[in-house]
Amino acid sequence: MKRTILFLSLAASPYFAMAEEAVALPTIVVKADSQETDVTGKLKKKASLNILGEKDVLDTPFTIRNYSDQAIQDSHAHTIMDVLKIDPSIRTTTNSGHLNENFNIRGFNVNWDDLNLNGAYGMAPSGRVSTDILSSVTVLKGPNALIAGMAPGGSVGGVVVANTKRADKELTRVTANFEDEGYYKSGFDVARRFGENQEFGARLSANYGQGEHIVDGLEDESTSAVLALDWTTDKAKINLDAYTTSDKRDGGSPAMVQFTEETTVLDAPDGRTNLFPNLHGRQSAQHVGISGEYKLLDNLKMIAGVGVAEQKYQGHLFGTRVVVQDDQGNATSQYYHVQQKQQNKTANLGLEGAFSTGAIDHVVGLRADYLHQEVKKHTGQGSPAVPFTTNIYNPSKDGSMPSNAPEMFKQSDNDYISYSLTDQISMLDDKIQLILGARFQDMDIKNPLTGVEYSEDKLSPSLGIVVKPWGEDISLYTSYVEGLAQGSTVNNPLDANNGTTFAPFQTKQYEVGAKYQHGSWLHTLAAYQIEKPSTITSSYADPNNTTLTQITTDGGETKSKGLEYGFSGNVTDDVIVWGNLAYINVEYTKGAALVNRKLTDLTGNSVEGQPEFTAGLGIEYSVPQLDGFSVNTRVNYVDSQYLNNSNTLELPNYTLLDVGAKYTTNIGGVDTTFRANVDNVTDEKYWAGVFNSGFTTLGSGRTYKLGVSFDF
């Protein structure tokens, strides 16, 4: 099995190299990335936004980053987390290389179970999404119930969309990638279009990786394959997408570390430190989906889609934690054996019509979306772990996994149905554009294990305005959007509201910004405010019931205010620069939590894991004396951040330096690209971020990466 995909890659190459010369694709087929990206090739200029259709970034009143296939390839990205590192303002709340990838955008979480696949929740792989099945990654910063609906896990920090590969161009590619500790990955990617008018498309890609990386002694094995078929004409388009992914991990895991006020924050150990050398984990996912659109009239089309996905994991996937006990770094372990199996089904149906009322043009969309989610998993923290002692600078070899997998119980049998209506209005030759919309979300929540069962609904309105007063190069915009999360249920016999389920929480975002595109330069500037409601727990006394000590209500709030600026362009013909700056202030405007086992008012405190300032700068230099050869560097700065919600522990700031080189040439008639990267050149030892309150993630050490791709 270990060499199967590599063998298929090499065996298929001569056959596809002799295939008939590609015919120019009709305009109904998406153009190649090089024609639709910024000057770096990393950011696509358009994005597919579900009910709003495919829109130019300059015509959208939101902050959007659509990372291209080149961005994936140039960074040697294994997963979505590796792609989003390009933007230092997107924080990760789990370690790089963890089997679960969680993010924080604009101060609020986007967890792995809320990653979106091709516009639908519930269809992405569990834990993390391999880039081997993707053509691009789209990020909408901030909540956006209008475009994406309600994330079933309640994430409101943003929308991360994994876009699977499609047969949008002729391609025969074989790739191989290496990392310095011995990790190797190879694969093939083949796409063809057939028919008199190129109406049929097929793409098949598969990859296999195996070896040691991330931390010392950790062995990973990953397998993925994706299939895309389509039939595209001027009147109709039908897509079939399918993938399978599998991760197998033995010999360790990156770790999270907890400090207390008694120990304070110690210096970070080497990034390759393996504090859990005997742990393992397995996860896999499969998906198949069919989507399409059909023009009923020249100005009226119907869209529809269905999809199913199965996700499962077992072993040690999270809870990779140690608690430091003293200033020498001695620590006790926390880890769990977990198991889950999830089956999801999704469907959508909609209409889109275009018409004019006088000098005003309208594109009206009506859409219904459905998601059924059924989850069986362990209870609590899974099988009891056997704790062991270790040291963050000198790890113990102890700490075996519990041998028995925990029993699974059905914990979710949920239905999410929503109805969306939008009107995209344009006037004065698109100098003024408005987006009016609303989504009505209905949720039917059932937990057979706890007996919690309720039905709720909520309407989420949205408004966006784009103005182009000085031509097509610059757009000014403002928008109001909302995010939606399930109302939580109080489960504490000491709480006066024990058993109460609150109404859905409605997060609100206000944003203003400007986007400027001229020649090779692209600038984006956005200012925003997000208000997120939540529960809040306060002390409580009832003379008639002395067992009650607290009361939970839905009066909590967290507020995020920020400013973001991004740019890219040519300084000279041979020098490209790109970068981003972000200032963010996230605080508990109404909040409380248990601190040292006492309820403490958090109002006015900064939210943990939120650096106020982050910045990134990249430079690429094309060496004129050697055609096709370029060198690049990227610097990321992350400000200090609080480790806990009481703001008594603080992680220091850090700066990371990456360097790389790329050489594109033709060898024997085969277009060949060599890539070499060194991440964290200075081998900086740092605490990267925060998971929950009190646990910090250990940053990755210096990593050498090599890659080669052959396009036949």
Give 607: exposed, middle or buried? Use CB within 10 Å, 0-12, 13-18, 19+.
buried
Q: Could you give phi then psi for residue 378, rounded to 5 degrees?
A: -65, 165
Res 451: pLDDT: 85
Q: pLDDT higher for 147 or 597?
A: 147
CB 417 within 8 A of CB 442: yes
Res 3: pLDDT: 42
Res 399: pLDDT: 67
**Average pLDDT for 493-522:** 94
Res 334: pLDDT: 84
Provide the terminal-to-terminal Cα distance of the chain, rounded to the nearest Å: 25
Res 403: pLDDT: 65
Res 692: pLDDT: 84
Which band of pLDDT confidence, cut at 50, 70 and 90, is reported for residue 167? very high
> How far, in Å, CA of 111 to CA of 80, rounded?
12
Is residue 217 in some structural domain?
Answer: yes
- 343 Cα distance to chain centroid: 21
Is residue 343 in some structural domain?
Answer: yes
Res 262: pLDDT: 81
Res 34: pLDDT: 44
Which band of pLDDT confidence, cut at 50, 70 and 90, is reported for residue 147? very high
> How far, in Å, CA of 644 to CA of 333, rounded?
19
Of all helices (H) and strands (E), which one includes residue 83?
A: helix 80-84
Strand partners, 671: 666, 711
Structure tokens that stand for 334 in this block: 């926390």
Q: Which residues have a Cβ under 8 Å from the Cβ of 646 and sit 6 or more positions away?
A: 593, 595, 600, 602, 605
Q: pLDDT higher for 48 or 28?
A: 48
Is residue 365 in some structural domain?
Answer: yes
Res 2: pLDDT: 42
CB 77 within 8 A of CB 83: yes
399-422 CB burial, b ≥16 within 10 A, e <16: bebeeeebebeebbbbbbbbebeb
Range in 156-165, 487-496, 671-680 the model is least confident about: 487-496
> How far, in Å, CA of 77 to CA of 178, rounded?
12
- pLDDT more than 70, % of the chain: 94
Is residue 223 in some structural domain?
Answer: yes
Res 385: pLDDT: 74
Strand-pair category, 200-212 with 158-164: unpaired
Which band of pLDDT confidence, cut at 50, 70 and 90, is reported for residue 590? very high
Amino acid at 223: T
| CB atoms near residue 3 (< 10 Å) | 11
Domain of 478 in residue numbering reads as 4-382+408-711
pLDDT mean across residues, the chain: 91
Res 694: pLDDT: 86
Res 22: pLDDT: 34
Which band of pLDDT confidence, cut at 50, 70 and 90, is reported for residue 15? very low
Amino acid at 300: L
Range in 13-17, 34-38, 688-692 the model is least confident about: 13-17
Is residue 391 in some structural domain?
Answer: no
- pLDDT more than 90, % of the chain: 82
Q: pLDDT higher for 17 or 227?
A: 227
Is residue 652 in some structural domain?
Answer: yes
pLDDT per residue over 600-652, tens digit each? 889 999 999 999 999 999 999 999 999 999 999 999 999 999 999 999 999 99
> How far, in Å, CA of 405 to CA of 350, rounded?
43
User: How many domains does one find in the chain?
Assistant: 1
Which band of pLDDT confidence, cut at 50, 70 and 90, is reported for residue 5? very low
Query: At residue 597, does pLDDT exceed 90?
Result: no
> How far, in Å, CA of 569 to CA of 573, rounded?
10
Amino acid at 661: A
Which band of pLDDT confidence, cut at 50, 70 and 90, is reported for residue 397? confident
Strand partners, 467: 432, 476
Of all helices (H) and strands (E), which one includes residue 73?
A: helix 69-74
Query: At residue 304, does pLDDT exceed 60?
Result: yes
> How far, in Å, CA of 188 to CA of 709, rounded?
9
Res 269: pLDDT: 97
Is residue 323 in some structural domain?
Answer: yes
Cα torsion at 359, 294, 65, 102 (round to 10°)?
Answer: 140
Q: What is the 3-state secondary structure (H, E, C) of 371-399?
A: EEEEEEECCCCCECCCCCEEECCCCCCCC
We report the CATH number of the domain holding residue 25 as 2.40.170.20
Q: Could you give phi then psi for residue 68, rounded to 5 degrees?
A: -85, 175
Query: At residue 533, does pLDDT exceed 70?
Result: yes
Query: At residue 29, does pLDDT exceed 50?
Result: no
**Average pLDDT for 131-139:** 97
> How far, in Å, CA of 152 to CA of 445, rounded?
10
Query: At residue 318, does pLDDT exceed 50?
Result: yes
pLDDT per residue over 241-300, tens digit each? 999 999 999 999 999 999 987 888 999 999 999 999 988 899 999 999 999 999 999 999
Res 35: pLDDT: 65
Using alpha carbons only, give the angle 295, 296, 299 rounded to the nearest 5 degrees.
70
Tell me the pTM: 0.92
Is residue 566 in some structural domain?
Answer: yes
> How far, in Å, CA of 211 to CA of 219, rounded?
5
Res 13: pLDDT: 38
Res 10: pLDDT: 34
Q: pLDDT higher for 31 or 400?
A: 400
Query: At residue 415, does pLDDT exceed 60?
Result: yes
> How far, in Å, CA of 486 to CA of 150, rounded?
9
pLDDT per residue over 473-497, tens digit each? 999 999 999 999 999 889 899 999 9
Query: At residue 360, does pLDDT exceed 80?
Result: yes
Classified as helix, coil or strand, 5 is helix
Strand-pair category, 409-427 with 389-391: unpaired
Query: At residue 418, does pLDDT exceed 60?
Result: yes
> How far, in Å, CA of 376 to CA of 140, rounded?
30
pLDDT per residue over 171-210, tens digit each? 999 999 999 989 999 999 999 999 999 999 999 999 999 9
Query: At residue 127, does pLDDT exceed 60?
Result: yes
Query: At residue 594, does pLDDT exceed 90?
Result: no
Q: Could you give phi then psi for residue 667, rounded to 5 degrees?
A: -120, 110
Sign of CA dihedral 101, 105, 109, 110: negative
Structure tokens that stand for 228 in this block: 């895309």
> How far, in Å, CA of 482 to CA of 462, rounded?
7
